[in-house]
């Protein structure tokens, strides 16, 4: 353990650390001063006006017809609902975005870029980076206002180190996207750290007992040195899972690459929408969610469902779950199904896919048997549990603790399923920390004060560059043979820097001397490639793709250079050393260009 935890000083060079937790469904911010860094002040972004479902605000953005900012959070929801209820039908001129963060969770071959489109609730398109920038800019302004109100002087922007959270399962491109959006929102690039969400939660769980008035019943520091523990971050969109190890000096090492999937609270929302569609039909659901006349009803209904979703208790002996049905929804049902009143809904139920399941509507409330709702939750929790089982096979059974954090961790069924599966006396303990919904946000503040707490990470991919070695018929494919400077060379060879699964320390730098070939106009453009396999041979293998391009000026053909990639941080950096001029180019790999092409397949 680190000596005298209570006296550990902030390592931040600025007066304050401020964190922004940009979530799929809810967002928030928090900050603390360098002198009293463990006292994290958590303020709510425009919480007034909502039902306080969450300790954060909805990630909802409303823009004017000219694409300028109008509102964020509960205000955005309410103002859009008011616009939609106006008979003038002006609401379609505005842009309203909800739950759009998941567009950054792209697959291996289709990554986000600067022109990636984001669709609003009515299908209108806008550059995603503009949408994210508006949100971050608003949250930043609210944060600065609250910070000014909390101290006796007026802090300058230069006094603040900002931390922005991202899921660990996102790729490098999505992290750069968030950084670029934050810089566009007015956060200086050299004052911005990117924190991986489960890492931030892990740091919080280790240090939360230092926070005033937080007497936690669990401390990571209680674990033996070198103990392994898992952080399961369940948010609105994703389940983000990592395995950490507590080192002798109190720092944290990652033991397995971050993994997970789209198994957050939105899965439950979609499953429940499918259930309602099975009962009332597709036409009913489309009209309820697309007709402006019912926008206010739709907001109220899903907000009510969110409250019930978080408070459901399947162990209290209740046979049915009751949800209030908006009058507007019932009006649609009556028109489409040609019924006169609520009592005749039984005719619809008898024809639906769920007939015979004792579903009914009484006094404006939908009564659904607990067993049906439990099945909806179980399908998502099974995916989470099965993934945890597979991870345990990889890292071994000697896992001491499973930490559940994130808003979706408040769900009792998820908690119970994980506990019943893994909480084995004397072996593994499942822990839900105090304020689990704020673990990532507060941990991000702690990370800003102590960025050295994460000392090792595991590479999710194999990283390398393209080289053109001398052709060797015994090793290389014949169709890769090219003539370059009167020599037979092999094109497209993958030269490996770091192997998938390799453990690298934070700031780890790997360098290789190389001879530049194929330079144009004195500029070296070197592609950085990644692979899902440990030993790729060529950059156009099926499991490879181009990550980005490193550029260095003043490099001619034949120039001797040293190329370096820096790993272990939340973002990859690159350097090129010109051996003759001794000039060094520290360069950011541009991952967001539309011009970055994937290698052509043979």
Strands 252-261 and 454-458: parallel
Instruction: Count CB atoms within 10 A of the CB of residue 3.
Output: 8
Taking residues 287-301, what's their average pLDDT?
85
Using a 10 angstrom Cβ sphere, with 0-12 exposed, 13-18 middle and 19 or more buried, the burial of residue 396 is exposed
Determine the pLDDT at residue 380.
Answer: 93
- Name the range with the highest mean pLDDT among 86-95, 262-271, 541-550, 571-580: 262-271
Check whether 214 has a pLDDT greater than 80.
no
Rg over alpha carbons for the chain, rounded to the nearest Å, is 27
Residue 600 in this model has a pLDDT that exceeds 60: no
Looking at the predicted structure, is the pLDDT value of residue 4 above 50?
no
Q: What pLDDT was estimated at residue 88?
A: 63
pLDDT for res 284: 92
More confident residue, 277 or 567: 277
Reported confidence tier of residue 598, pLDDT bands at 50, 70, 90: very low
Cα(563)–Cα(515) distance, integer angstroms? 10
Task: For residue 381, count other CB atoms closer than 10 A to its CB.
Answer: 25
pLDDT digits (tens, 9 = 90+) for 462-475: 999 988 899 999 99
pLDDT: is 312 or 259 the higher one? 259
Q: Which residues contact 569 (CB under 8 A, 6 or more apart)?
A: 506, 507
Confidence check: pLDDT of 44 > 70: no
Q: What is the largest CA-CA distance in the chain?
A: 87
Domain boundary assignment for the chain: 265-374, 459-587
Give residue-wise pLDDT tens across range 183-212: 999 999 999 999 999 999 999 988 887 776
Is the pLDDT higher at 3 or at 172?
172
What is the chain's mean pLDDT, rounded?
85
Q: Which pLDDT score is estimated for 499?
A: 95
- Under 8 Å between Cβ of 145 and 18: no
Residue 94 pLDDT greater than 80, yes or no: yes
Query: Would the pLDDT of 453 be above 50?
Result: yes
Q: Which of 439, 405, 408 shows the shortest CA–CA distance to 19?
A: 439
Select, from the ranges 159-163, 475-479, 504-508, 572-576, the one with the highest average predicted confidence (pLDDT).
Answer: 159-163
Strands (E), 378-534: 399-405, 429-431, 454-458, 462-467, 481-484, 487-490, 493-498, 503-505, 508-515, 523-531
At residue 3 the predicted structure's pLDDT band, cuts being 50, 70 and 90, is very low
Helix ranges, 281-353 (H): 282-290, 295-311, 327-337, 345-351
Q: Is the dihedral of CA 435, 61, 136, 131 positive or negative?
A: positive
- What phi and psi, each to the nearest 5 degrees, are found at residue 597? -105, 150
Whether the predicted pLDDT of 594 surpasses 70:
no
The pLDDT assigned to 2 comes to: 43
Contact assessment for residue 423 and residue 256, using Cβ atoms and an 8 Å cutoff: no
- Please give the angle made by the CA atoms of 299, 133 and 153, to the nearest 5 degrees: 100
Of 125 and 595, the structure prediction assigns the larger pLDDT to: 125
Tell me the average pLDDT across 289-308.
83
Say whether pLDDT at 5 is over 50: no
Phi and psi for 323 in degrees, rounded to 5? Answer: -130, 130
Does residue 357 have a pLDDT over 90?
no
Give the pLDDT confidence score for residue 436 in this predicted structure.
87
Q: Where are the alpha helices (DSSP H) in 151-215?
A: 172-184, 197-207
Say how far apart CA 32 and CA 197 lie, in whole Å: 18
For the residues 235-247, what does the mean pLDDT come to? Answer: 91
pLDDT at 547: 82
Q: How many CB atoms lie within 10 A of CB 65?
A: 12
Q: Is the pLDDT of residue 319 over 90?
A: no
Percent of the chain with pLDDT over 70: 89
Produce one character per residue of 223-234: b if its CB has 16 or more CB atoms within 10 Å, e if not: beeebbbbbbbb
Is it the case that residue 567 has pLDDT exceeding 90? no
- Per-residue pLDDT, averaged over 251-273, amounts to 91
Tens-place pLDDT, residues 401-429: 899 999 899 888 889 899 999 987 767 88
pLDDT of residue 51: 52
At 453 the three-state DSSP class reads: helix
Q: Which of 197-211, 478-492, 580-594 has the lowest mean pLDDT?
A: 580-594
| Residue 46 in this model has a pLDDT that exceeds 70 | no
Assigned CATH for 459-587: 2.60.34.10
Q: What is the pLDDT of residue 568?
A: 67
Residue-level pLDDT at 272: 92
Is it the case that residue 135 has pLDDT exceeding 60? yes
């Amino acid at each position: 353990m680190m000596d005298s935890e209570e006296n550990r000083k902030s390592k931040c060079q600025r007066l304050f650390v401020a964190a922004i937790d940009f979530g799929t469904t809810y967002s928030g911010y928090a900050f603390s001063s360098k002198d009293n860094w463990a006292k994290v002040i958590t303020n709510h972004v425009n919480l007034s006006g909502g039902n306080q479902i969450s300790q954060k605000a909805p990630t909802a953005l409303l823009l004017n017809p000219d694409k300028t900012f109008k509102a964020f959070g509960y205000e955005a929801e309410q103002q859009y609902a008011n616009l939609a209820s106006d008979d003038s039908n002006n609401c379609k001129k505005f842009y309203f975005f909800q739950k759009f963060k998941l567009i950054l969770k792209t697959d291996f071959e289709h990554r986000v870029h600067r022109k990636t489109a984001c669709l609003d609730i009515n299908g209108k398109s806008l550059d995603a980076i503009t949408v994210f920038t508006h949100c971050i800019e608003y949250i930043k302004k609210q944060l600065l206002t609250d910070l000014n109100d909390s101290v006796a002087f007026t802090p300058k922007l230069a006094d603040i180190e900002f931390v922005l959270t991202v899921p660990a399962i996102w790729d490098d491109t999505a992290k750069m996207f968030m950084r670029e959006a934050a810089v566009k929102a007015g956060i200086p690039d050299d004052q911005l750290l990117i924190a991986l969400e489960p890492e931030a939660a892990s740091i919080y769980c280790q240090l939360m007992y230092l926070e005033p008035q937080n007497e936690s019943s669990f401390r990571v520091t209680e674990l033996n040195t070198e103990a392994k523990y898992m952080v399961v971050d369940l948010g609105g969109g994703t389940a983000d899972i990592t395995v950490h190890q507590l080192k002798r000096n109190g720092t944290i090492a990652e033991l397995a690459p971050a993994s997970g999937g789209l198994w957050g609270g939105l899965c439950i929302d979609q499953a429940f929408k499918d259930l309602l569609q099975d009962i009332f039909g597709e036409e009913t659901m489309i009209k309820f969610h697309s007709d402006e006349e019912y926008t206010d009803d739709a907001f109220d209904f899903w907000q009510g469902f969110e409250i019930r979703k978080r408070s459901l208790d399947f162990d209290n002996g209740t046979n049915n779950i009751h949800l209030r049905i908006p009058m507007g929804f019932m009006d649609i049902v009556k028109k489409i199904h040609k019924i006169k009143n609520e009592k005749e809904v039984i005719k619809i139920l008898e024809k639906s896919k769920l007939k015979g399941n004792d579903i009914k509507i009484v006094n404006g409330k939908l009564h659904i048997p607990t067993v049906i709702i439990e099945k909806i939750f179980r399908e998502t929790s099974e995916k989470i549990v099965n993934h945890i089982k597979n991870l345990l096979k990889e890292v071994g059974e000697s896992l001491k603790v499973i930490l559940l954090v994130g808003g979706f961790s408040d769900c009792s069924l998820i908690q119970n399923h994980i506990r019943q599966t893994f909480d084995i006396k004397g072996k593994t303990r499942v822990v839900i920390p105090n304020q689990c919904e704020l673990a990532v946000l507060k941990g991000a503040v702690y990370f800003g004060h102590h960025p050295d707490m994460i000392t090792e990470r595991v590479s999710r991919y194999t990283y390398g560059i393209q080289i053109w070695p001398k052709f060797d018929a015994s090793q290389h494919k014949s169709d890769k043979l090219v003539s370059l400077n009167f020599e037979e060379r092999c094109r497209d060879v993958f030269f490996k820097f770091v192997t998938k699964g390799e453990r690298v320390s934070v700031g780890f730098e790997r360098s290789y001397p190389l001879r530049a070939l194929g330079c144009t106009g004195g500029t070296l453009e070197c592609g950085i490639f990644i692979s899902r396999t440990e030993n790729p041979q060529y950059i156009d293998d099926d499991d490879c793709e181009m990550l980005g391009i490193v550029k260095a000026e003043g490099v001619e053909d034949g120039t001797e250079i040293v190329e370096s990639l820096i790993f272990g941080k939340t973002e990859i950096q690159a350097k090129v050393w010109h051996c003759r001029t001794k000039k060094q180019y520290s360069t950011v790999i541009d991952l967001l260009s539309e011009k970055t092409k994937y290698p052509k397949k043979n």
